[in-house]
Amino acid sequence: MKKSLMKEENGTPKRQWSLQDFDVGKPLGKGKFGRVYLAREVKSKYIVALKVIFKEQMEKYRIHHQLRREMEIQTSLRHPNILRLYGWFHDAERIFLILEYAHRGELYRELRKSGHLSEQQAATYILSLTQALAYCHEKHVIHRDIKPENLLLDHEGRLKIADFGWSVQSRSKRHTMCGTLDYLAPEMVENKAHDYAVDNWTLGILCYEFLYGVPPFEAESQSDTFKRIMKVDLNFPSTPHVSSEAKDLIGRLLVKDSSRRLSLQKIVEHPWIIMNADPSGICSSSRDFDVSSISGSEDETEKEIYPRNEGSKVTNDSVNKKKLFVHLQTGERVSVWKCLLINELDSISYEDDKTSVGGNGIHSQNLRENEVIARLKYLNHEPRDGTHLRIVLLASGGHFAGCVFDGNSVVAHKTFHRYVVRAKSGKKQSSKDASGKTISSAGASLRRHNELALKKEIQDLLAAWKSYFNASSCVYIYAPSNNRQLLFNGDKPYFSDQRSAVRNIPLTVRRPTLKEARRVYEQLVQVAYEVEDKEVLSTSGHNSPSSVVTTDNGTQDIGEPKVIGDLEKDACTHLEEPVEHPITRESESESTCITTPLHEASQTGNADKVLELLEQGLDPCAKDERGRTPYMLATEKEVRNSFRRFMASNLDKWDWNAAKVPSALTKEMEESQAAKQAEKDAKRKARAKELKKLKKEKAKKAQAEAEAAESQKAAKAEHGRGIGSILNTRAESTSGKLITKEMVQAAEREKRAAAAERRIAAMAAAAATNGSSSTIPNSSQTKTGLAGDINCSCCGTSLAGKVPFHRYNYKYCSSTCMHVHKEVLEEN
């Protein structure tokens, strides 16, 4: 690659690196394509890792595009758990990558040394990996090769993801089978398309390996491993002992269906992670900071010590004024909340301050920079024996949450929730009463009672926690407005103790719950990396507290630019840039990000203009200010096809992979696609014609069924009209009447009576046959309908050989006649 001298915005040349800029030390590792060495930048004494790749090996294995992609991705990723790539350079035979140095080396070594990790260590590493992968997936990056050999540990024990050789940046599914055998997902083994979920699968594999010491699907042969992966043949040994929560997390990650695997957000919220993981991500017995200097926020003066500026807006500057910024000897800058170390009225006197600053009040202190650093260091070595507790108290809107912490462990917690605010009102009942509007409703009385009950419950709890307050070093409170009276009696707190410092929480607090109290505490004690280059790497000569950097000999180096700034500027100039950070083709070392006419033609959808510009020699690999190639801006299919047609006829002219053009489009391919499309269209038309025919047949069938039903209905109606003239007359006269409930009940009674008469008649007939009774009277014969001269009382039809329907002294041939005759009698 050819070096090019790039100009920065201010006109100063960018740093060009060479091997003479580094003192190369011992080898750190060896790979297939090169070696990694410990190195130190000559000017700044900054320690880095120098990865040396031999060009001969690149030519032999044809890994140009893979290396370019690795550099492109790793350069642009900025996360505390991702190994930084600061820059690169080359000579005639080798390519050198300037990497962040991970002091403790591969996690694989520690895993083999200890056999397996504790649940606390494993959960912390899984949490760090999850957060880093969530960041990568937001940038559309899939790692695809996460394993203990590719995970490094820095001097604090913080995990770093390295080796992005198999990584890919893509919004669509991929089909390449890559990675390491024991960590492959089922969709890769079965040669199916895969997406981000392969990284989630690997998290389950790593969690199992951290806890048991071996991958879950390890087998003697490759084919056996493939079979176990495809079957998800997951077994949990009896030793070492692993909690059921950890097994649950592993089981929910190692699911064959990628859509059912636990999401990264759900992993962070899993109970096993919450109970065991250290939010700081540090797994080390001596979690100490190598502090080189400490500073206040940007543009901070002694007049701005007080955070209460009336009418001030909540901006980033106001947040920064509540933080302390610490420069580490590694060149990084971190921040902590001031309330973690000092009180609100305390001030800090920096080493470059020319004025002597006194205290800001009776209870305030003026702390030197070294005193604050000493407090920060002591904070990391506090004994966890219940003598240095921290308490969080949250009270708002009828909700209270209290939590006692010893380090990261919860010693005690309690929550209260009372109905004290009327819906859609937004005020407590006591506030309304204070305004002079006395309300005597049941709801108001209930709210008044709940306010008093809540205050009593909180005061009783604070009294019960007296031993915790006596052993606490700090109490963090959040009680806005009149909620303060729940915790304070005037200016005196109910939990008053001379040892404890009472400090307000400088964060936005949601409804007080146990989960919210834990979240607030984790935010307060967390050390945040400040990764914005313009703030972290400021080299201005202003004598402000934020620009002080203490060198190894103790003198202040203010005016000389830091070499690490050049390293990081080579890596990436803006944190918010997308991952498609430009990596040049072989003829360049860097490329200028500008919008070309090819970008404009592609974005406007002018296919002819695009083809014309490509034939004129415009570079399709050029990227605009947002890192997008012309092909990425194309919204029309014809424009994209123009790029692909030109690629087919000029395959070796450009690096089409860098141009993001997926594949060539030849004339034969277009003809084949047209034939396939025509075949699809013909099938679609035939299918539509068939559906139309079926629809017509169905309509005809439905019409025929409707006609048959209509004719059947007409026949029934004609049969009903044959009952007789009187029946027709009465039916017509009563057709419009509504049947009442009483009529239905009467008809039901008559049916039951008729059935009873039939049973009696049957019994009488049986008795006559057996000769057990005398001759049945004529009246009985009439009732049974055995006489041949009896007719229907309504229509006159003979009842001979029939069992009649009876009502009173009348007999009927059918129930219809019975109802009609009943209505005739009622009208008469």
Q: If 0-12 CB within 10 Å is exposed, 13-18 middle and 19+ buried, where does residue 391 land?
A: buried
Residues with catalytic roles: 429
Alpha carbon separation from 666 to 49, 646, 660, 747 (Å, rounded)? 46, 9, 18, 87
Alpha helices in 737-800 (DSSP H): 741-770, 778-784
Segment holding 318, helix H or strand E: helix 316-320
Residue with tokens 């990584």: 167
> Residue 261 in contact with residue 130, Cβ under 8 Å?
no
Give dist(CA 589, CA 800) in Å, integer: 117
Task: Reduce the DSSP state of residue 274 to 3 states and report it.
Answer: helix
Sign of CA dihedral 505, 509, 512, 518: negative
Give just the sign of the alpha carbon dihedral 596, 601, 602, 603. positive
CA 404 – CA 411 distance, rounded (Å) = 5
55 is in an annotated binding site: yes
CA 17, distance to chain mean position in Å, is 41
Q: Which residues pair with 30 in a beta bridge?
A: 35
DSSP 8-state class, residue 575: T
For the record, the structure tokens of 721 come out as: 């009209």
Interatomic CA distance for residues 280 and 675, integer angstroms: 60
* β-sheet with 105-106: strand ranges across: 105-106, 151-153, 159-161
Q: Which residues pair with 366 in a beta bridge?
A: 347
Q: Where are the beta strands (DSSP E) in 479-540?
A: 488-489, 492-493, 501-504, 528-529
Q: Which amino acid is at 103?
A: H
Q: Identify the residue whose tokens are 């990790």.
A: 117
Peptide bond before residue 240 is cis, with ω within 30 degrees of 0: yes
Neighbour count for residue 713 (Cβ, 10 Å): 10
In order of 159, 689, 760, 818, the CA distances from 785 in angstroms are 103, 67, 12, 15
Residues comprising the binding site for ATP?
Answer: 55
Residues comprising the binding site?
Answer: 55
